[in-house]
Amino acid sequence: MTDAEDRKPQSDEARSAFVPPSGLAAPADSESSTTSEFALPDGLAAPKPVPESETTSEFALPDGLDVAPAPQHEPEGSAFSTPKTYSARQTAFTPPTGVPLVRLTKDVPWQDRMRTMLRMPVTERPAPEPVQRHDESGPAVPRVLDLSLRIGELLLAGGEGAEDVEAAMFAVCRSYGLDRCEPTVTFTLLSVSYQPSLVDDPVTASRTVRRRSPDYTRLAAVYQLVDDLSDDETQVTLEEAYRRLAEIRRNRHPYPGWALTAASGLLAGSASVLVGGGLLVFVAAALGAMLGDRLAWLCAGRGLPEFYQFTVAATPPAAIGVALTLAHADVRASAVITGGLFALLPGRALVAGVQDGLTGFYITASARLLEVLYFFVAIVIGVLTVLYFGVQLGANLVPDAALGGSDPQPVLQIAASLGLSLAFAVLLQQERSTVLMVTLNGGVAWVVYGAMHYTGDISPVASTAVAAGLVGLFGQLLARYQFASALPYTTAAIGPLLPGSATYFGLLGIAQNEVDSGLTSLTKAVALAMAIAIGVNLGSEISRLFLRIGSEEKRRAAKRTRGF
C-alpha cells in the first residue's frame, strides 16, 4: 500500500471551511500542516516544549519569576566567635552606667587575675595565652583537667577558701590553653568542665575530697606549683607538674608528733595567761591540753569520727580545773578550762566558712559552718559532762574568777599572745620561714585589741573586728609579697582573739542552771567569732582593692631569691 492510497480523502466541507480569503496564501495541503482544530493560529509564539529529561518536578518555578539566590553556607566555626552581624556600635544591651572596664594586667598575683576572669562571663574572657610547653597536637585535655582537680583537692583539704580553689584550678587549665573551663567547688566535691565550642562535646571530670588535714607547708608548695604554671618565664610540662605534685603528696610534716603535742600545751597555757592565770594555771592548762591531744590521737587511730575526738579532747582540761577546785587550790579553775578550750575551738574552719559565704559560695559556706557547729557541740558535750559531775561533787565554780583578779598585765599578755600564735602555727604545720611573721602578726592583733578594749573601753566585739581586720590586711600583704596563700599568715594570728572565755562562761552558766546568763555568753562568743571571720575577710578585700603589689621586675627578683 502506497502513501497516497493510505491518506484520508478530503471532504468538501473541510475544503470549503478553511478556504483562505483572497489575498492570503493558502497553507500547504498536507496532513502535517493542519492536524487539529486546536492548532495555534499563526503569529502566536508558543513556548518550546521542554524535553522530559529537563522537567524534574511539578514544583519547578515558572520562567520569568526572579528568585533571590540562596545564601552561601557559612563555614562551621566556633560558637564563641563574634557573629558577622555584630557591630560594636550597637548599644541596645549596654547598661545605663556603662560597661565596667576590667584590667587584667600581669603585674598582679595570679590569684587576682584568675578570680577576676572567673567572675566574668565566658564570652567576655580574654583569649588564653598558653605559657607551658606541650605537644604539637595540643595539650591532653583529660590530663590537664585531672591535674587541676588534684591541685584543687590538696588546696581544699588544706583549708583554702572555695574561691581561691576555683582560681587555682582555672589557672592550671588556662596555663595549658584551656580557657573555656568552668570549675565548681563544693565542700566535698570538685568538678571541672571544658567545652571547646558549642558543636563539640564537653569534657567533664570530678574528684571527691574525703580527708582534710591542716598542713600549710603542703599548701604553700601547691601554691608555688600553681605560681610556676602561671608564669611566662617558668616552663613546666605536664609530666613535670605531675612529678612535683607527687613529691608534694609524699612530703612529710615539718614537725614530729611530740612537737605538736608540746605546741598544744603551749597554746592552752598561753591562752590561760591571757585570761588572768598565773604560772600554776599555765602548767595545769598545758597538761590538760596535752593529755586531751594524746586521747584525740588515740581515738583517731581507732577510726572514730572527729566529733568524738573533740568530745574526748575537751574532757581533760575541764577535769583538771574541777579537780583543782575540789582540792581548794589557790588557782583559777576557770582559766584552766578556758585555756583548754582555746586549743579546740575551730577557728580555721569558721574563718573559711564565713569567707565562702561572703564570696558567694553559699553551699560550701553552709557545709563549713555546719562542721563548725558539730565541733562546737562536741566540745560542749565534753565540757558540760565534766562540769555537771563537778557541780554535783560540790565544786564551787565561779564565772567571775577569771576576770575579777588583778589588773591586766600588758607585757605578760603580749608575750602570751606571741606564744599562742607560735603554737598555733606549729599545729597548722606551717613552714618554718613563716612562723616568725605570723607570730608577730598575732602579737600586733592582741596589742590592737588590748588598746581598744582595756584602754579605750570599746566593745570587745568591735575591738575584735578591728584587730582581725588588721590581721587579714597584714596577712594578705605578706602573701602578695611572697606570691603565696594568705592562710599561713592569718589563721594562726587570730588565735589570741578566739572567744574561749565567753564560750566557757556560757557552758558554765548552763551547767549551773543559769540558762539566761549562759545563753548570753554563748551569743557573745558567736558574735566574737563572726567579728573575727568578717574582719579577716574585710582586711583581705581592702588589700586587693587599694593595693597593687608586684610587677614583672619584682616578680623576677622574688623568683631569683627563691632559687628560680
Distance CA 317, CA 314 (A): 6
CA 59 to chain CA mean position, Å:
61
pLDDT given for residue 119 in this prediction: 58
Q: With CA atoms as reference, report the closest residue to 247 among 228, 222, 269.
A: 222
Q: Which of the four pLDDT bands, split at 50, 70 and 90, describes residue 312? A: very high
Task: For residue range 385-430, list pLDDT tens digits in order.
Answer: 888 888 787 776 654 454 444 456 788 888 988 998 999 889 888 8
CB-based contacts of 401: which residues, under 8 Å, 6+ apart?
332, 333, 334, 335
The Cα-based distances of 500 to 234, 376, 428 in angstroms read: 46, 11, 19
429-481 pLDDT, tens digit per residue, is: 888 888 888 899 989 989 998 889 888 888 888 888 888 888 888 888 887 77
Dihedral in degrees, nearest 10, Cα atoms 129, 133, 137, 143: -90
**Residue found by looking up cell 588583778 in the block:** 406
pLDDT for 398 equals: 58
509-549 pLDDT per residue, tens: 776 677 787 788 878 877 887 888 888 878 777 776 665 54
Alpha carbons 284 and 293: distance in angstroms, whole number: 14
Has residue 151 got a pLDDT over 90?
yes
Q: What is the mean pLDDT of residues 85-110?
A: 49
Parse the chain into domains and list their residue ranges.
Answer: 110-250, 257-561
348's grid cell: 580555721
Confidence of residue 140 (pLDDT cuts 50, 70, 90): confident
pLDDT of residue 107: 54
Stretch 251-280: mean pLDDT: 85
Cβ partners under 8 Å of residue 205, min gap 6: 142, 145, 146, 149, 191, 192
**Mean pLDDT of the region 305-318:** 90
In 3D, which of 442, 464, 438, 441 has the Cα closest to residue 451? 464
- DSSP states of 112-155 as a string? HHHHHHHTS-GGGSPPP---S---TT---HHHHHHHHHHHHHHH
Look-up of cell digits 599562742: 420
pLDDT above 90: percentage of residues in the chain: 8
**pLDDT bucket at 69, cuts 50 / 70 / 90:** low
CA 431/CA 218 separation, integer angstroms? 9
Q: What is the pLDDT of residue 101?
A: 44
For residue 109, give every residue at least 6 positions away whose Cβ sits within 8 Å of its Cβ, in sequence order, or none: 480, 483, 550
Distance between CA atoms of residues 155 and 147, nearest Å: 13
The three three-digit cell numbers of residue 183, written as one number: 570549675
pLDDT at 120: 58
pLDDT-based confidence at 60, cuts 50/70/90? Answer: low
The residue ranges of DSSP E strands in 382-467, in sequence order, are: none
| Whether 470 contacts 445, CB under 8 Å | yes
Nearest partner of 116 among 130, 100, 99, 103, judged by Cα: 103
- Asked if 277 contacts 339 with a C-beta cutoff of 8 angstroms, the reply is yes
Predicted local distance difference test score (pLDDT) of residue 479: 79
